[in-house]
Amino acid sequence: MPKKILLFILLSFIVPVLSMSAGDLAYSSATFTESQQNNGMIDNSVPVSLTLTGDTFNAGPDEDLIMTGKAVVTNLPEGMNASIRKTGDTTATIEIWGSAEHHDNSNDINNLTITFQNSAFTGGDASAITNSTRNDLKIDFFGITVTSSADSGAGSLRQMIADAAAGETIGFAAAVTSITLSSEITISKSLKIDSMSPLDIVISGNNACRIF
């Protein structure tokens, strides 16, 4: 057989294989941001959306792929859970619910991982989909949190104000509902103290001193 004909036959098998592109799972954002109430909850007003190319989601309308075992989320902070809901054949949204027990800036997560199983895709092969597993997603907590009702010491409002950098937001854990101070807290930098996270907080000088 002439070499040119043989080469043409070989290429006719190779080219279609090379032209087959892997599917892709695109994220609208890689970061989940805490609500401005600084309450450990994620702002889901604009959920992270997923767009799938090269395949379709193997799920029913509005199915939560985590609930049905077709996707797994790991490295979520304690107190939080996630949902991945199908919104179309090639689209879905990710939302994170609950309230993180610890949500200071130092508690940011940089390795939130979402793994889609083979069963999540009509083609049945997650390895053929780029980003079917991502381990670089982030949860961004933007403030620091008062965790103690004590006048001073670790977790107290006094200590958090001393530790905070200028411009930071200080919120309150759910267990902290009132604080009684024995002396005034001096504030020498610009801070936001968010009394709405998660409930109104009563801060008192016990009729003996100013609070700030």
**pLDDT attached to residue 103:** 85
b/e code 30-61 from CB counts within 10 Å (16+ = b)? eebebbeebbbbbebeebbebebebbbbbbee
What are the pLDDT digits (tens) for 135-152?
Answer: 999 999 877 888 899 999
| E strand spans, the chain | 23-27, 31-33, 48-53, 71-74, 80-88, 91-98, 109-116, 129-130, 133-140, 143-146, 169-172, 178-180, 192-193, 202-204
**pLDDT attached to residue 137:** 98
Is pTM, for the whole model, over 0.75?
no
Which residue ranges of the chain lie beneath pLDDT 70? 1-21, 195-199
Phi and psi for 18 in degrees, rounded to 5? -65, -30
**pLDDT attached to residue 196:** 54
**pLDDT attached to residue 146:** 86
**pLDDT attached to residue 195:** 55
**pLDDT attached to residue 199:** 59
